Structure 1
Amino acid sequence: MIDFHSHLDLYQNGLVLARETNTRNKFTLVVTTSPRAYVATSRVFAGLENIKVGVGLHPEVASAKAMELDQLVGSVANARFIGEVGLDGSVRFRASLALQERIFRAALAECSRQGGRVISVHSRGAAGRTVELLAQAGSVGLPVLHWFSGGLTELQAAIRLGCWFSVGPAMLAGEKGRGLAARMPIDRVLPETDGPFTLDGSAPLKPWDAWKVCSELAEVWSMCTAGVEDQLTANLNRLLVNHA
């Protein structure tokens, strides 16, 4: 099982859950909200071989964490994965978009300088601008657009750019999300939860719950569930061999 976008460090009893996740999942990417969180989470999860930690500066906390930008840029050289970074143009956070963009540009520029990284990218409410900045930044590695919710035109632009996508049960619960997933290249899709911010009833989704997308994608892609499982596993293997 795979979860390519989890906030495992933000669950209650996160270390206990991480140990179980390390046993149950083949691969889990833990994205962090700030460089300081990355340092702490990397230390706590050290030794859990199937869990990787990305260094990020989440756009939702851009105003509060902007002083950590230099630390973010300085961490890229020694990080295999970058995340969560990007833009959030939703009503609550759009006032900080200029600052978000400065942070995102700096992160992308450093990824380019370091020869490219795998980058888990947030784009809620700002999909078009996010894709534009990725295009302007050039060869940054492999952007994986997490829970993409833009329009078809923006999706097509991201596909042309070579972006990948991580999709979760919450995204596929809606008609729009299923419609977008139906148009994504099946060899560039990975599963995610975005837990603990997504729920299964009243409880947060666990990292192994990302695998629930296999049955949903089987319907969307007109495949058998086993075929989807094989495809997602092959996608991860190719990413890890070629980009991480």
Structure 2
Amino acid sequence: LIGARSSKYLAAFLIAAGMMLEITLRQHHLSWLLLALPFGLASVVPLIPVAKIRTTVILTVILIGSGLLVTKESSFKLPSLNVKRIQLANKVVAHQKPGAAIYTNAYLLAYTLASPNEPSQVNFLAGYDMIYEPFVLTNHVNNQNKRWVNAVENNFYGNLLWPCLADKRPLNAGDLLVLSSDKRAGVIYPIEIWKQNSSMIEHVGGFEIWEVKQDMQASVMPELPPWLPPAVVSTMCP
């Protein structure tokens, strides 16, 4: 590190510090930020008139401390989306009654909860992203969109409820509605009507967990919005 006092090492130490800062931002590991500090400090050593021995001691202490922190980086790691999703899934399961179904508009949560042993328990309410955008990406070619729909269904253990199925799925007492704050799902499904016969039992972050209090047939969904061509819906249901 003392060699950084020579200008020929300056660029290398700056690059190393920059790479570690980027890892810090991407991975949320504060230990990488601490590792970047000695390299950054070594880069500016030539500008600071300090004794070499003092510089060596300071940088050595920082490196040792950073190395110790790397071994415990989990203590600095921010909760990832995967961890939060698993925590939410555990809360949902804790509220679930035997035989009750789960309806959610959060795909990753549905994917986490879905099980090959009980495929009928988890129902994903397909929203705007999974309906219209793939249709656009396939250049509005119906057969291509249908192949995409089949691929998604074949890789999901639960039930995918497309708009044309929304009014054909009965909700039973004890079923759970796990709804994210994404308002786009409400454009397609009569979620507000479902809530009238349900009660919220927990609010977790950006999600609400509702329990259906009485059996009901899902109300007929509203008319399709103008940005959702009928051809999209026709490719998703028989």
Identify whether the pair has TM-score above 0.5, normalized to the shorter chain: no
With normalisation by structure 2, the TM-score equals 0.30
Whichever structure has more strand as a proportion of its residues is 1
- Higher alpha-carbon Rg: 2
Instruction: Give the number of the structure with larger relative contact order, counting CA–CA contacts within 8 Å between residues 6 or more apart.
Output: 1
With normalisation by structure 1, the TM-score equals 0.29
